[in-house]
Amino acid sequence: METSDCAATLDTHKYPFPVMTVGIMGAAGGIITEETKGKMRELGHCIARRGYVLITGASPGIPHETVLGSFEKGGIVVGVSPALNLEEHVVKYNSPTRGYRSIIYTGSGLMGREIENIRSCDVVIFAGGRSGTLGEFAIAFGEGKIIGILLGTGGISEPLSDIIRMIDKNTGAIMSYDSDPEKLLTKLEDLYRETLLQQYVRLMETHNPDSTPSPD
């Protein structure tokens, strides 16, 4: 596993939580090239090998290719579904189930679940994408997330750097770009260790991991 040197470290024996969570956002439909499918499968492999938790909107298309890649390597995958329950997930939304360790049913619909999806991730990777992905990017960018763009996957991900320049607003979001899944993950992990992990270390060092029962 390739990591960077950083002052912030978390004793994973004492604090097995948190594990870095990686969100994958991209087109659920449309034409996906074999090259893009290959990149997403490899991204899933990389996420699983590094022991990250993969989070998607439990949708088909580009995100599901990543799920299948992680599944092939025994990775942990969590889906954030727009559905109210499993029946609605598979019947109403015709959404996938293969590869998921757990599916969270929000009952919020396709657009409503995007906020929960984004907020559950430490870092968010965008690949390909259409209007729905653009909406997810607006949330991630507006909430100051660590964001990775997997180049070479087409869709709205390619012009996002131009869109950011047009927005001309500092939200605290940190951007990273690469066409290689492994290199992009390394960059994002470095950013995570330099920023979020330091916050997590401070919180976990002063927090009772078993919490305290309420007196009520």
SS3 62: helix
**Residue 40 pLDDT greater than 50, yes or no:** yes
Predicted local distance difference test score (pLDDT) of residue 210: 82
CATH code, domain carrying 136: 3.40.50.450
What is the chain's mean pLDDT, rounded?
Answer: 91
- Find, among 121, 117, 101, the residue nearest to 109 by Cα: 117
Quick one: pLDDT at residue 58?
96
Closest CA to 129 of 152, 155, 151: 155
pLDDT of residue 4: 38
Residue 25 lies in a domain: no
Decide if 77 is inside a domain: yes
**What is the pairing mode between strands 21-26 and 174-178?**
unpaired
The answer to whether residue 6 sits within a structural domain is: no
pLDDT digits (tens, 9 = 90+) for 164-188: 999 999 999 999 999 999 999 999 9
Contacts of 190 (CB under 8 A, 6+ apart): 3, 4, 6
- Is there a domain that residue 87 lies in? yes
Query: Would you state the pLDDT for residue 206?
Result: 85
Domain count, the chain: 1
Would residue 11 count as lying in a domain? no
Give the CA count within 13 Å in the CB-facing half-sphere of 85: 1
Strand pairing class (123-127; 53-56):
unpaired
Mean pLDDT of all residues in 195-206: 88
State the distance between the two ends of the chain, measured CA to CA, in whole angstroms: 46
In three-state secondary structure terms, 25 is strand
CA distances from 150 to 70, 77, 96, 180 (A): 17, 19, 23, 7
pLDDT classification of 18: cutoffs 50, 70, 90:
confident
Q: Has residue 107 been placed in a domain?
A: yes
CB of 177 closer than 8 Å to CB of 151: yes
Is residue 30 domain-resident? no
What pLDDT, on the 0 to 100 scale, is given for residue 12? 62
pLDDT above 50 (res 3): no
Of the chain, the percentage scoring pLDDT greater than 90 comes to 81
**What residues contact 171, with CB distance under 8 A and at least 6 apart?**
141, 142, 143, 144
List the one residue out of 54, 90, 93, 95 whose CA is nearest residue 71.
Answer: 54
- Residue 212: pLDDT band (50, 70, 90) is confident
Supply 39's token pair: 């990149």
Range of the domain at 173: 37-200
Q: Is 81 within the bounds of a domain?
A: yes
- How much is the pLDDT for 213? 75
